[in-house]
Structure 1
Amino acid sequence: MYRPTTSSRRTGVVPVLAFTGIVVAVMQTLLVPIIKDLPELLDTTPSDATWVLTATLLAGAVSTPIMGRLGDLAGKRRMLLASLAVMVVGSLICGFTDNLLVMIAGRALQGFAMGAIPLGIGLMRDMLPPEKLGSAMALMSSSIGVGGGLALPLAALVAQHADWHALFFGAAGIGVVAIALTLAVVPESPLRAPGRFDLAGALGLSLGLVLLLLPITKGSDWGWGSGTTLTLFAAAVVVLVAWGVMELRREAPLVDLRTSARREVLLTNLASIMVGVAFYAISLVLPQLLQLPTATGYGLGQSMVVAGLCVAPLGLTMMLTAPVYARLSARFGPKVTLILGMLIIAVGYGAGLGLMNAAWQTVVISVVIGAGIGLAYSSLPALIIGAVDPSETGAANGLNTLMRSIGTSVSSAVIGMVLANTADHVGGVAIPTMHGFRIAFLIATGAVAVGVLLAVFLPGRRPAALQLRASSEEDAGLARAEEALAAFRGRVLDPAGAPLARVKVTLIDGRGRQAGGALTGPDGSYSIAVPDGGSYILATTARGHAPHASSATHHGEPGAVAVDLSLAPRAEQVH
């Protein structure tokens, strides 16, 4: 793979991109400490106040796959900066208003920050050597938990001792810092996907997601059996099915549904929903349990700040698991780490059923569940990246991030409904019960159990090996490891025998489906792992050259089959 960064600049890329992920998470949890006060602060009803949270969720869900695709087409760094800039504008709008509608608009703009996660992962893939990519992606993926964990106590501290608008000015400030660091440290990736932006696909997906997520997030207010809720669900199905049919017919779709339907991509995305459900459940239960008065008999009577500090280890543990994930994944593969992570989550929630009697016990629960979520979240981008072409990284990871968001939305809706239906009503106030908290933990445990079942059917071979390249001495060790895999390897040359760099080599199986891809290094070398034995087509494309396809056969046994490829200039350029 072409990597334009020097070693010194590479060192700074990872922490800067991880910091942008933390900024994204802060936008999601910024208002959690003052949720109960929003109706009074905005002079509105509790039902209308929830739109301040829903707007960010909807905008984030819509923008994530769109920004990912735009990043593949126009430049990932450029779109990353655009996402952060829109977020800063939204934060400033919120900071200067008490009007509900203006606040909703500002919070929607804050949601655009969600696109930074897939864009950051895509930039890492394009720039970093394979031996450093695993831990870097793990850190980027877990940064969501880190930001969420740190934001809770800090936001609570600000809300207790300053005007609540200071939360938004602080968000704008860290957004500006993220933009400055990105401009200074992160170079643009030269890798671009062919084709044009699918505007119709973007509009169709946006409409479908809004129609789907609106009833999920507002169903408890409207009533799950109400005409509005059911109508929106039905409309979402119709729109998303029509969108899918349209995308299948497009030459350059917003989301390549054929790629998304591959077993490894589909199962990873479904498992992502389950992990999202589990991730959000603890954030909904523990803060409430910690802040309930001791007079209830089970509440722990802690302040808003202490409650945030007790939950903060969830995010910190996620960050600390990144290097652990890198070692485990290098040895056993991301499938194993995903399953291990979900099993640890299940253990944490299972233990939590009996560990809710003291503040220190909630810290233990947060640490265990955080470790499991860290391993699971770190595995997801590695599984996706190993299954898609390099030019589709942004869009594919955008879709995966969207699946996590859908999981958290479902978790919020279902657990919110459970806690509401099991609450005790005292003086017109609904007080969550311990029974409701335990049911919420059981739901999260069931979700990860489904996730483990899905992950069991993922391919066992490490997908990261699909993109191994031996174009320089730093990749030589990986090249030797690749000998143990079934692969095609060779060089792409021009008619005079000179190597051609940055040539896209696509592996196509006997059914005409893409089975892998690579981008040649400076010496023209490429390497693509083969999923099974059989006949394949190696298609090569490069700017200024005529596309070419060569047939090749691999028996599926460990080892590389050497196939050198030739790519001639376009006829009109030959003199």
Structure 2
Amino acid sequence: MPRAVSLGPLAAIVGFLAFVEFTSGILQGFYTPMLTDIARNLGIHDADVNWLEGTQLMLSALVVPAFAKLGDMVGHKRMLVWSTAITAAASFVLPFTDSFPVFLAAWALQGFYVVWLPLEIALIWSRSRRAGHPASLTMKSAGVLVAALEIGAISGALAGGALIDVLPLTTVLLIPAIAVTACFFVILFGVKESPELTGGRLDLVGLVLISFALIAVTGGLSFLRLNGVADPLSWGLIVLGIALGAVFARFELRHDDPLIDVRMFASPSLRPIFITAGLFGVSVLGAQAPLSTFARTDPEVYGYGLGTQGFQTSLLIGVYLIAMIAGALSYSSVARRLTPRITLMLASSLVAIGYLLFVPLHDTYAQTLTNMVIAGLGSGALVAALPAAAAAAAPPTQTGVATGLTNSVKTVGGAIASCVFGIALASHLVGGSGSDGAEGTAGSLSGYLTVWIVCGLTAAVSVVLLAFVPKLAFSDAPEAQERAAVS
């Protein structure tokens, strides 16, 4: 009875947070089947869709460190409320503009939803510590949240793909905005605040330094895409961003209450997790738009692609997301049998296999579907595992920061990959005379091959890195908890 009583409030919070992740899934799945329609409405090429993804990921990378730290300081629920309000406001702008700059700005601001999952994991961890076995409880809860996320993504993708074929784009784009508004009130009235807050003041100097570093790097990559790889300004911005990152690290080491405790990157348990998160972002974030536009490319016009319509594309995405749900829900049970470290390695291996299979097998719907299912199983496990593993390995006062860092580093990896993939796809825009008259809008096959090879190889590198993680990391074993306390 005492255990049931102690877990009751935690289960209720997980239930409300599952609705939040369901809404997050709607945002992540709803737009994907209609990216080509959005591109035509804005008058841009398929390759330029990566600008939407890249700018949203860049802003997300700036937002997560600040909101994760503020969550530890002033409350994880409070920051959930603020991020949801901003996301809702941005979502209501999208249906009412056909200006690419305005749409781009609103799309970027909508990216505030990326802070939801790390804030939720930190909130659950802070409450599960009182119930005992925080690592296992957080793993189970993370699996439930990610399953809700992917169910939302499936619902969003299926609804978006079906509605875009029968309704005007403006009407269709209103649906996510309404869903986020409902989510705002669920958080406001249904979620209780974290019991333990650290207080303190936000490291504004550190925030400015890391923001300019990320802007410089992603800006340099964007200019590379526009001006070519021989552009000196682009490379200068990238070098400046790296230099600012080094300055940020030195400043944080001397700060009493840093925005990001960079010493966590030296932890034998946390360092591979952060690197894996960055490499995972390449495929789970950077490859989303290319997969959608490849499926929509007409093989009769361009010689490759699947030629799917909106609903067919949403079905493809839906099966991929079902595989992610299976991976997320199976993570905790597999981890109990094989240890979290081995499970993470297996998940990364599935991602590598799935994307590398695209290189020889991409000509039919069935081949593409098979590859996405394999990659989806591994991706779902990683989405659930990475923030939970970071929470288990982090010092108790840095839970929000550690879980936020997995998302932030993953977002940076996705932003960089999005820029690189945009360059690859735009390198040889393919002309054609499709029924929509969209001549010269399809990305190159060599660009798509580059996307799949990079996604596969980065996942393979993660497998090697995770082999060096301590055996009992991310578990409730006393040895792991002792290491986390001193790391």
Q: Output the TM-score relative to the length of structure 1.
A: 0.75
Cα distance between partner residues in 1 of 2:390 and 2:7: 26
Match of 1:409 among 405, 415, 422: 415
Partner of 1:512: none
The change in CA–CA distance for 1:422 and 1:449 in structure 2 (over 3 A counts) is farther
The change in CA–CA distance for 1:351 and 1:213 in structure 2 (over 3 A counts) is same
Partner of 1:563: none
Partner of 2:453: 442
Match of 1:204 among 187, 202, 209: 209
The total of aligned residue pairs comes to: 474
Match of 1:324 among 325, 330, 345: 330
Q: Secondary structure at the match of 2:385?
A: helix
Mapped contact 1:420–1:430 kept (Cα < 8 A):
no
Deviates more, 1:360-369 or 1:40-49: 40-49
Cα distance between partner residues in 2 of 1:235 and 1:365: 38
The change in CA–CA distance for 1:147 and 1:216 in structure 2 (over 3 A counts) is farther
Residue deviations 1:502-531, cap 9 Å, x none? xxxxx7xxxxxxx543xxxxxxxxxxxx89
Calculate percent identity across the aligned residue pairs: 24
Q: Secondary structure at the match of 2:165?
A: helix
Q: Map 1:198-277 to 2 at 5 A.
A: 198-217=203-222, 219-277=224-282
Q: Map 1:526-541 to 2 at 5 A.
A: none
Which structure's CA Rg is the greater one?
A: 1
Mapped contact 1:337–1:376 kept (Cα < 8 A):
no
Residue deviations 1:11-63, cap 9 Å, x none? 33224323323433444555444444546534679898865444422221111
Cα distance between partner residues in 2 of 1:277 and 1:333: 25
Partner of 1:56: 56
Q: Map 1:289-308 to 2 at 5 A.
A: 289-295=294-300, 296-308=302-314
Partner of 2:186: 181
For residue 165 of structure 1, report the CA deviation from its aligned partner.
2.7
Residue deviations 1:418-443, cap 9 Å, x none? 33335544465154455543443222
Partner of 1:72: 72
Cα distance between partner residues in 2 of 1:362 and 1:49: 21
Query: Cα RMSD between the aligned structures?
Result: 3.0
Mapped contact 2:47–2:426 kept (Cα < 8 A):
no
For residue 159 of structure 1, report the CA deviation from its aligned partner.
2.9
**Larger strand share, 1 or 2:** 1
Cα distance between partner residues in 2 of 1:47 and 1:350: 22
Mapped contact 1:287–1:307 kept (Cα < 8 A):
yes
The change in CA–CA distance for 1:206 and 1:450 in structure 2 (over 3 A counts) is same
Residue deviations 1:131-161, cap 9 Å, x none? 4321212333566555545433432333332
Partner of 1:378: 384
Cα distance between partner residues in 2 of 1:259 and 1:133: 20
In the alignment, is residue 392 of structure 1 matched against residue 394 of structure 2? no
Partner of 1:191: 196
Mapped contact 1:158–1:166 kept (Cα < 8 A):
no
The one of the two structures with greater contact order (alpha-carbon pairs below 8 A, sep at least 6) is 2
Residue deviations 1:249-274, cap 9 Å, x none? 11001101112322221211111112
The change in CA–CA distance for 1:256 and 1:486 in structure 2 (over 3 A counts) is closer
For residue 72 of structure 1, report the CA deviation from its aligned partner.
0.3
Letter in 1 for 2:116: A
Cα distance between partner residues in 2 of 1:297 and 1:44: 22
Identify unmatched segments of 5+ residues in structure 2: 434-438
Cα distance between partner residues in 2 of 1:335 and 1:77: 30
Letter in 1 for 2:256: E
In the alignment, is residue 164 of structure 1 matched against residue 175 of structure 2? no
Letter in 2 for 1:335: R
Q: Secondary structure at the match of 1:156?
A: helix
Deviates more, 1:373-382 or 1:133-142: 133-142
The change in CA–CA distance for 1:192 and 1:400 in structure 2 (over 3 A counts) is same
In the alignment, is residue 456 of structure 1 matched against residue 456 of structure 2? no
Identify unmatched segments of 5+ residues in structure 1: 466-481, 489-506, 508-514, 518-529, 532-575
The change in CA–CA distance for 1:159 and 1:217 in structure 2 (over 3 A counts) is farther
Q: Output the TM-score relative to the length of structure 2.
A: 0.87
For residue 304 of structure 1, report the CA deviation from its aligned partner.
2.0
Q: Secondary structure at the match of 1:398?
A: helix
Partner of 2:436: none
Mapped contact 2:46–2:441 kept (Cα < 8 A):
no
For residue 354 of structure 1, report the CA deviation from its aligned partner.
3.8
Cα distance between partner residues in 1 of 2:5 and 2:172: 36
